[in-house]
Structure 1
Amino acid sequence: MSEKNHNTEPILDSETISAQVSEILNSKDTLKKWYKYLQLGRSLDLRAASYLKKGMGWSYHAPYQGHDGIQLALGLTFRAGKDFLFPYYRDMLTCLAAGLTPEEILLNGLSRDTDVAGGGRHMSNHFAKPEIRIQNGSSLTGNHSLHAVGVARAIKKYNGDEIAFYSGGESACSEGYFYEAVSGASREMLPVIFVIQNNRYGISVPVKDQSANPIVAENFSGFLNLRIIYCDGTDVFDSWRAMQEATKHVLDGNGAVIVHADCVRIGAHSNSDNHQLYRSPEELEKAKERDPLPRFRNHLIENKLLTEDELKAIEDENEAELAEAAPKAEAAPLPSPDSVMDFVLPEYKPVEGEVHELTEPEGDPSLYTDEVIKFLQAINFTQIEEFERNENTFLWGQDVASKEKGGVFNAEKGMLKKFGNERVFNAPIAEDFIVGTANGFCRYRDDIWVLVEGAEFADYIWPAMEQVVELSHEYWRTKGQFVPNMLIRVASGGYINGGLYHSQNVEGSFTTFPGLRVLVPAFADDMQGLIRSAMRTKGATVILEPKFLYNHPWAKTKRLKKDVLIPFGKARYRRYGSDLSIITYGTTVHHAMRAADRLESEQGISVEVLDLRSLIPLDKEAIFETVRKTSKVLVVHEDKRTGGFGGEIAALIAENCFESLDAPVIRLGSLDTPVGFSKILENAILLNDQKVYDEALKLASY
């Protein structure tokens, strides 16, 4: 189909537009309102560049000129405080029309502490107002599409009449997660509208280098249950028509819509881009000819819809509004450097239950039943308890809801039958989609907790890592206005003869993201208490489950009584000793304990074993206490030695306990190789009791 067939030419003939648009043409109040937003937005866009030149802020500015029609229509279609709007960095006019004031736009651009998006914590030109459901989006182009799909899923689950709006450029459509978002929205028939603002350039990369189809929405024409609506994004009337068609389609229960808006980029991509290096003067001049603002203004005058005096009055009113807003924004306080640690992790405040630290080798017997359970049973039983306790809990992942299967390891056994497919359901093999939609789902109401199996095995989590990074700084980036209540469970580690994609440890990566809790329990009772904490406390938690322990007798314990919680950031002594400390977590806790027993019985060496349980937050005081007690420390973990979390522990000890040490801090990890499939190779690569014994004996003799 030619571009002309997709409304790339101006459509201002009243015979070709909808009856609703015809009504607008006869409504002076509406036309004045539209012109007010268009002209006010343009003035703000130009001021952004001037602030940059003056060195006052807006160090990142992506002008929206040439997108005016679709941005006005999108912003006015959004129902503030009801719908969910996920804008992108070029959506200044969208957000102005959706409910941000000029002062709030300026506060964001100037990175002031009172910026309603997040107090200057995010890049300028990333407009948001969570209070009215304009979401604080990422700079990762297009990844908010998954968040829009996630909240749309929640809307449908709760039978709501809200709409999720995604807005982005055509280049973001090249991302795999955008395809996952559209695929999921069409398959589930979700109330989400994807607005694609196609200006034909991704910075300097032309659309022909992005897509075989210059009209990128056509790439999605084969998706079932997906309607695609085309419009001229420079034409306010045609854009309004398209948005009204899209909202009606969604509100009628017909599923997702893509609105493809043909736009033009009049300016450069951003202030750091010189578009004259790749665009000809002729092309730039032709782009200016499609400038929506003067075209709309001329249309109003030529068709005697508004007079020159009426338009001038609107412009004067806008200038007065900006003249009042700008000094206020400029005088607003800058963020305090003392605030940087605020909102990294939510405070540990479980919604209910009794918190017991359980830091001793033998837990308080009054907190346990007489039933002995396996590590895997602890996961299954506790998940069921949490779903019974809070009806606003949901679970999805791969293979978790296939009749009686209940996950590849049976951790979800019986949950589908007990709680139904509305709360427990399968996800496609798309890890980005699993984690990203969970982030979005949490936004619908603050008493929702989402539990996901992030991947079948930890080795497959990497496609989701961009979403893991995203959710890790949601709380900080929004200055505490939003935090995803999520628990990501991942089966981790080796010793199962699993080979390269079933034996990996990933804590060395996860612990580098501020804002995530990272837990690695080694016993059934710890698993119970920590899951309960994760499902009753605000924030995102990752539990890395040593799958070797799922059914191993080493990890068995008595079952914790209901509502007993174990807090994050508290290590547990597994064994007391005086000659040497082993600090460890996960499967190697058991290797350390067995090696310690041998060292005492065979060599008379008293070894203390400290099980960290929680890596982030980390119990530094317990680490320092055991080091100062024994003066010799061996840090042991299953992960590779290079880049493993043990390096962080060793550095902390060196910095804080140097004078207490009688020997170097020794790290013991698996070999710096991939984990081989052959059992012979796996045994050579991974740690075992003997390797821990030998290293500890050598250290004790130092």
Structure 2
Amino acid sequence: MKVAKLHDLKKTDKKTLEKWLHLLILGRMIDERAPNYLKQALGWSYHAPYAGHDAIQLAIGQVFDRKTDHMFPYYRDMLTALSAGLTTEEILLNGISKATDLASGGRHMSNHFAKPEWNIHNVSSCTGNHTLHAVGVGRAMKFYKHKGVAISSQGESSVSEGYCYEAINGASNEKLPVVFVFQDNGYGISVPKADQTANEFVCDNFTGFKNLQIVKCDGKDVFDSMNTMIAAREHALKFSEPVIVHAMCVRIGNHSNSDNHEWYRDEKERADAKAQDPLPKFKADLLKAKIFTEKEIAKIEEKAKAELLEAHAKAVKAPNPTPESIFDHVLPPAYEPQKYTDGTHNDTSEPKKFIDAINGTLKAEFRHNPNTFIWGQDVANKEKGGIFNVTKGMQQEFGKGRVFNGPIAEDYILGTANGMSRFDQDKIRVVVEGAEFADYFWPAMEQFVEMSHDHWRSNGAFSPNVTIRLASGGYIGGGLYHSQNIEGTLCTFPGVRVVVPAFADDAAGLLRTAMRSQGCTVYLEPKALYNAKHAMTSIPEDFEVPFGKARVRREGKDLSIITYGNTVHFSLEAAEILAKEGFDVEVLDLRSLNPLDLDAIVATVKKTHRALVVHEDKVFGGFGGELVGQINEHAFEHLDAPVRRVGSTFTPVGFNRILERAILPDMNKILVAARDLLNY
């Protein structure tokens, strides 16, 4: 990739140079003032000074096109945000965490700058994870033939994160218009670069990647940085392939206001860093070339100081977030079913398999919304559609642009789903097989956590419209990594929905609602039910099931079995046997765990006065503990016996069928517990 020297002291007009100098001076004034807000107890409790990164950050902001591009700045990118067009007041509002802060309304750490209307994204504190989001945006740009680029910026140490390698591997494989900027100041907090990687330049770790351009620049030099960023953006646009810009910077001060670099940098090193300060050098070059006089520069400084003081006066008077606002934007609005408002139906058509219900609904929703996409591991190769063939025939009907395989990298699958949704959250809906089995989902947990608070953290500005499909549970002789249940963990995160259908009609209805909703839904598929005859039902063509609406599968008055997933069927079998013994048992199928239908739970307990909670997951630490807690809190006075639980033993699920049977709950174990409770 060639870097044309479009800018130098002679080629750049004075008006442009004045604008750049103003931004450099103003940015440095804010950077140096930021610690004072903490000393005055006004905020900015996290501040990562950018001094020494001035040139590359100026260039990123100037090259960014707010009409066409998407930008993902990191926590040290204050000047980047200012250069891209954020006002001084907007920077200060973020720093002191005001309710009117554009990035998050005070919900996220200071120094995480954003402006949603310009697609300058609010990124989290997990260093480098936004590289995956930039790749997802780049994928959308390519699909929709959009002429823009995604710019991801980070420090060189965060490139050590595995998802950064996944992002660059994926961007090069898919040939996406993404510019990855590495701002290299030699340190990851106190950790020197030599402890991160063997190469002097971390960008050299990627030299073997195809379809990837790598270019180095002096991140302290305004013209070298500007020319390099212009060339990188133009290349990404022209060839639709990623570019790494490795900018050599210097960190003049501490990593942040919670760090003291005197503990690990000697006096000489600190002095050498200060001597490389880009701002006085740029001023000196302008004076030496007689482009500006001392008086003109002083006038620019006075203007910047006045702008800062005016912004400060406004920012400190801005409203603080209110305590009651914490419940705002936890979840975006869910799709509200129009016809089947309680999630039941009277359809009498021929029963369908659970697996066919999912496959048919996916196809129907892909026809309903042409901006729907699905990817994952092994989901689309000729006649095969996933490890269980759930997505069979989808690529043939909807094409490789909408249905395709992802690499074996769960973080990449989920992170790029978040990113692609960001390109147009009003219309784009993404479905992913988050892992081939739910047990393999753990590598994606960082991106899942990110997704869970995206809407809240952005103060309602963004919602990742992603349905995460996971084949869950046992009873297939799968053993470790093929038979575990993870809903107990996933339900601890606010900001996501978790549903578990047990019958084919609910599998269709819940999937349709998830795919039409804003926000993130985890859709757990009990894989033992895919082809199970007892899970087959009739399904109306347009069936919908609302979130948070349980379904009474069997009426009764003596005992309530509250359950979901595979154990719904065991519970119904047990209830029929108990009926022959003279007991009338009610079976409540929760279907939705988050949100939870607490009203239905309380209603059934009021009716029967006894409750047995049954689920496939381990009893200890399982979701049943939450159900028992809710019953005790909201329906204790209606109980005639303690609430009991049936679930797996506190062990992994074994592979040998003898071990699996000993570990997992079954109809007989439910019968024993139910009889004990009925006779209490």
Shorter-chain TM range is: over 0.9
What secondary structure is seen at the aligned counterpart in 2 of 1:193?
strand
Q: What amino acid is aligned across from residue 535 of structure 1 in structure 2?
A: M
**Residue 525 (structure 2) pairs with residue 539 (structure 1):** no
SS in structure 1 of the partner of residue 244 of structure 2: strand
1:4-43 mapped onto 2 (5 Å cutoff): 18-22=4-8, 25-43=11-29
Distance (whole Å) between structure 2 residues aligned to residue 355 and residue 231 of structure 1: 60
For each residue in 1:220-249, what CA deviation from the matched residue of structure 2 results, as whole angstroms up to 9, or x when unmatched? 111111000100111111101110110121
Structure 1 residue 17: Cα displacement: 8.6
For residues 398-447 of structure 1, give each alpha carbon's deviation from its aligned partner in whole angstroms, at most 9, with x where no partner exists. 11110010111111111111111111111110000000000000011120
Q: Secondary structure at the match of 1:639?
A: strand
Tell me, yes or no, if structure 1 residue 356 matches structure 2 residue 341.
Answer: yes
1:102-501 mapped onto 2 (5 Å cutoff): 102-350=88-336, 353-358=338-343, 363-365=344-346, 368=347, 370-445=349-424, 446-501=426-481
Amino acid at match of 1:646: G
State the shift of 1:532 in Å: 0.8
Counterpart CA distance in 2 for 1:25 and 1:628 is 81
Any idea what SS the aligned residue of 1:379 has?
helix
Contact between 2:473 and 2:528, CA under 8 Å: does it hold in 1? yes
1:588 equivalenced with 2:588 (yes/no):
no
Change (3 A) 1:371 1:283: same
Give the 5 Å matches for 1:69-108: 69-108=55-94
* Residue 672 to residue 324, structure 1, CA distance change in 2 (3 Å): same
User: How many angstroms apart in 1 are the aligned matches of 2:4 and 2:534?
Assistant: 71
* Code of the aligned partner of 1:110: I
Conserved? CA contact 1:17–1:238, under 8 Å: no
8 Å CA contact retained: 1:200, 1:214: no
**Which secondary structure does the structure 1 equivalent of 2:7 belong to?**
helix
Distance 1:168 1:68 in 2: 14
| Contact 2:181–2:247, Cα closer than 8 Å, also in 1 | yes
Q: What is the rounded CA distance, in whole Å, between the counterparts of 1:24 and 1:410 in structure 2?
A: 64
Q: Pick closer, same or farther for the CA change 1:28–1:405 going to 2, 3 Å.
A: same
State the alpha-carbon separation in 2 of the partners of residues 123 and 349 from structure 1.
Answer: 31
Q: CA deviation at 1:306?
A: 1.2
Structure 1 segments of 4+ aligned residues over 6 angstroms from their partners = none
- What is the match of residue 7 of structure 1? none
Q: Shift of the alpha carbon at 1:600?
A: 1.1
The alignment status of 1:632 with 2:617, answered yes or no, reads: no
1:472-516 deviation per Cα after TM superposition (whole angstroms, max 9, x unaligned): 111101111100111010000000000101001000111011000
Deviation at residue 214 of structure 1 after TM alignment = 2.2
Give, as a single letter, the amino acid of the residue that structure 1 aligns with 2:577: R
Letter of the aligned partner of 1:591 in structure 2?
Answer: F
Partner AA of 1:130 in structure 2: P
Shift of 1:280: 0.5
Q: Give the SS at the match of 2:304.
A: helix
**Cα displacement string for residues 260-293 of structure 1 (whole angstroms, at most 9, x for unaligned residues):** 0001111111100111111101100000011011
Partner of 2:488: 508
What residue identity is the alignment partner of 2:643? V
Question: Counterparts of 1:289 and 1:214 in 2: how far apart (Å)?
Answer: 22
TM (norm. structure 2) is: 0.98
User: 3-state DSSP class of the match of 1:50?
Assistant: helix
- Distance apart, 1:630 and its partner CA: 1.0
Unaligned runs of 5+ in 2: none
Residue number among 630, 635, 639 corresponding to 1:661 in the alignment:
639
State the Cα distance separating 1:82 from its structure 2 match: 2.0
1:145-195 CA distances to partner (integer Å, 9 max, x unpaired)?
000000000000001111000000011110100000000000111000000
Q: Which residue of 2 aligns with 1:693?
A: 671
- Structure 1: stretches of 5+ with no match in the other structure: 1-15
- SS of the residue aligned with 1:574? strand
Q: 1:454 to 1:277 in 2, by over 3 A?
A: same
Cα distance in 1 between the residues matched to 2:308 and 2:520: 40
Contact 2:9 2:286 in 1 (8 A): no
Alignment of 1:671 with 2:656, yes or no, is no
Is the 8 Å Cα contact of residues 157 and 422 (structure 1) preserved in structure 2? Answer: yes
Q: 1:653 to 1:513 in 2, by over 3 A?
A: same
Code of the residue aligned with 2:341 in structure 1: it is: H
Q: Distance in 2 between matches of 1:701 and 1:93?
A: 71
Cα distance between partner residues in 2 of 1:536 and 1:586:
22
For 1:610, the equivalent position in structure 2 comes to 588
Distance 1:464 1:103 in 2: 37
**What code does the residue aligned with 1:396 have?**
W
Q: Which amino acid in 1 is paired with 2:443?
A: P
Post-superposition Cα deviations, 1:1-57, rounded to whole Å, max 9, x if no partner, equal xxxxxxxxxxxxxxx994411376441001100000000000111111111111110
Which one-letter code corresponds to 1:38 in the other structure?
A: L
Tell me the CA shift for residue 385 of structure 1. 0.1
Distance 2:30 2:18 in 1: 18
CA distance in 2, matches of 1:353, 1:659: 36
Q: Residues 576 and 254 from structure 1, CA distance in 2 versus in 1: closer, same or farther, beyond 3 angstroms?
A: closer
Q: What do residues 619-674 of structure 1 show as CA deviations (whole Å, max 9, x unaligned)?
A: 01101111111111011100011110000010011111111111111111100001
Q: Tell me the SS of whatever aligns to 2:370.
A: coil
- Taking a change above 3 Å as real, the CA distance of residues 83 and 24 of structure 1, as seen in their structure-2 partners, is farther
Secondary structure of the residue that 2:516 maps to in structure 1? Answer: coil
8 Å contact kept, 1:528–1:560 = no
CA deviations 1:595-614 (Å, max 9, x no partner) are 1111111x211111110000
SS at match of 2:327: coil
> C-alpha root-mean-square deviation of aligned residues, in Å?
1.2
Query: C-alpha distance in 1, partners of 2:334/2:53?
Result: 44
Could you state the TM-score of these two structures normalised by the residue count of structure 1?
A: 0.95
**AA matched with 1:178:** C
Q: CA deviation at 1:77?
A: 0.5
Is the 8 Å Cα contact of residues 65 and 267 (structure 1) preserved in structure 2?
Answer: yes
Read off the aligned partner of 2:564 and give its amino acid letter. Answer: Y
